[in-house]
Amino acid sequence: MANLPALRPWLCLLAAMAAASAPWPPADALGMNWGTQATHPLPPKIVARLLRDNGIKKAKLFDADQETLSALAGTGIEVMVAIPNVMLDTMTDYDTAKEWVRRNVSRYNFDGGVTIKYVAVGNEPFLATYNGTFDKVTFPALQNIQNALNEAGLGDSIKATVPLNADVYMSPKDNPVPSAGRWRADITDLMTQMVQFLSNNSAPFTVNIYPFISLFLNDDFPVNFAFFDGDATPLVDPGNGVSYTNVFDANFDTLVAALKSVGHGDMPIVVGEVGWPTDGDKHATSAYAQRFYNGLLKRLAANAGTPARPNQYIEVYLFGLLDEDIKSVAPGNFERHWGILRYDGQPKYPMDLSGQGQNTMLVPASGVEYLPRTWCVVNTNAGSDAMEKLADNINYACTFADCTALGYGSTCGGMDSNGNASYAFNAFFQVQNQKDEACGFQGLAVPTQTDPSTTTCNFTIQISTTSAGHRRPLGVAVFVLAQLLLLLLLLH
């Protein structure tokens, strides 16, 4: 029987992990997640240039958008294209999978084309909160995509993989240490089969690891254990005597143990997502993000590896490149603030992607066009009758715009009701491309050319529609619905 008092620190760590889930090389060792869930996404050509300007040589996408891939053509940037979860069921038909490979991979395989390295089949499809929705379709889709790549003569250089959340593996409650890592009980057989298939095709295991989530979900989690600067009290794995000083290593090595348990302890592992948000939670700050990346990037540059795989290169994709203002906030308000850059491609804080600690601001996006310098703020001259409707109008604005910065512990938290109203009204006004009728709110709002931003709270000016990217995933539907509700509000 394990010594449970001695293992008690690991129980806390395990719970957090289950819920979350050459020397000095330049940034070509790093990849970057490029998400586009924004009302006004940057144009793909601007983002592709942004990646190159910062020496980023790998990009992980969440779809296979034609304009995005065209922008990446000829750049030499290695790309992971993706099949969204909602398409997995269709990929269980082999002919459909072959056609997808033809249209989204083979067509770009030419001199001066797109350097596609991976195809991501789904995104965290076995997440426990999905309750098995994609369990029966993911592995057949993976098989069909890889077999289609093989048939097209691309299988040697392009591998299909499945980015998985760290909740697919864990350690037993009576032995919650990395060396005891195993697959989650409900998907053990599925994971065993899938790992064997990946191995047969020399494809990597891809996992998303988020130390921030450990901190977010557990107030008792030791803060320093989320970082890499050695300030945490070490936890010793009694199974092998290894000492751990950060949750990333412990999480990664739990996966190594799970792979080893099914005979594939040497399988290549790609960290598909790892990062730290800067807003939307008390722990989501630029200072913490900078601390996290400083430690992570130095370790990656030195090929430090982890205790289970010491002195080894780890392929890592940071999450993410840009803030996304219509990402789901179901996990938390921080979801819209993962970017190392703002929504418009401007840097948030100094960082050195080479891992040498020479922190300077990243090269910002160039050629970005903005809407006029006009904000929408609360009308302090509104009558008392109108002010009684202030809360309802704030709620309306925040239903169709991003107000996550107003939350407790966030950059705009703590303002009075007028400040909250101004932030909400302006957020909605910008999403609506500064249309006159979008700054009414039953007489509670007025436009202004005076920037209402404070030292901590930024009132944004949105990217102009001539500069913003062509796609607005969910954004178009939200925009139309907001217009209809705005009309009803005006008529009320």
Report yes or no on 348 lying in a domain. no
Report yes or no on 347 lying in a domain. no
Statement to judge: residues 381 and 447 lie in one domain: yes
CATH of the domain at 248: 3.20.20.80
Statement to judge: residues 271 and 392 lie in one domain: no
Q: To the nearest whole percent, how much of the chain has pLDDT over 90?
A: 86
Statement to judge: residues 304 and 378 lie in one domain: no
Q: With beta carbons less than 8 A apart as the criterion, state whether 218 and 12 touch.
A: yes
User: At which residue do the structure tokens 């070490």 appear?
Assistant: 234
Indicate the residue type of 42: L
- Whether 273 is a known active-site residue: answer yes
- The more confident residue out of 455 and 472 is 455
Q: Comparing 218-222, 248-252, 421-425, which segment has the lowest mean pLDDT?
A: 218-222
- Whether 124 is a known active-site residue: answer yes
Catalytic residue among 78, 273, 315, 324: 273
Statement to judge: residues 337 and 381 lie in one domain: no
- The more confident residue out of 23 and 372 is 372
Statement to judge: residues 321 and 468 lie in one domain: no
> What pLDDT, in 10s, does the model give residues 311-365?
999 999 999 999 999 999 999 999 999 999 999 999 999 999 999 999 999 999 9
Statement to judge: residues 281 and 199 lie in one domain: yes
Q: How many domains does the chain have?
A: 2
> What pLDDT, in 10s, does the model give residues 184-219?
999 999 999 999 999 999 999 999 999 999 999 999
> What pLDDT, in 10s, does the model give residues 393-435?
999 999 999 999 999 999 999 999 999 999 999 999 999 999 9
Statement to judge: residues 268 and 393 lie in one domain: no
Local confidence band at 5 (pLDDT 50, 70, 90 cut-offs): very low
Statement to judge: residues 79 and 124 lie in one domain: yes
Report yes or no on 361 lying in a domain. no
User: At which residue do the structure tokens 């101004």 appear?
Assistant: 422
pLDDT of residue 447 exceeding 70, the answer is yes
Statement to judge: residues 322 and 391 lie in one domain: no
Q: Which domain holds residue 257?
A: 25-341
> What pLDDT, in 10s, does the model give residues 428-437?
999 999 999 9
Report yes or no on 254 lying in a domain. yes
Report yes or no on 322 lying in a domain. yes
Report yes or no on 467 lying in a domain. yes
Q: Where are the beta strands (DSSP E) in 223-358?
A: 235-237, 242-244, 269-274, 305-306, 309-310, 315-318
Report yes or no on 5 lying in a domain. no
Catalytic residue among 124, 315, 324, 335: 124
Rounded distance between C-alpha atoms, residue 233 and residue 117, angstroms: 39
> What pLDDT, in 10s, does the model give residues 138-161?
999 999 999 999 999 999 999 999
| Burial class of residue 77 (count of CB atoms within 10 Å of its CB; 0-12, 13-18, 19+) | buried
Statement to judge: residues 295 and 399 lie in one domain: no
Report yes or no on 11 lying in a domain. no
Statement to judge: residues 404 and 474 lie in one domain: yes
Rounded distance between C-alpha atoms, residue 440 and residue 453, angstroms: 20
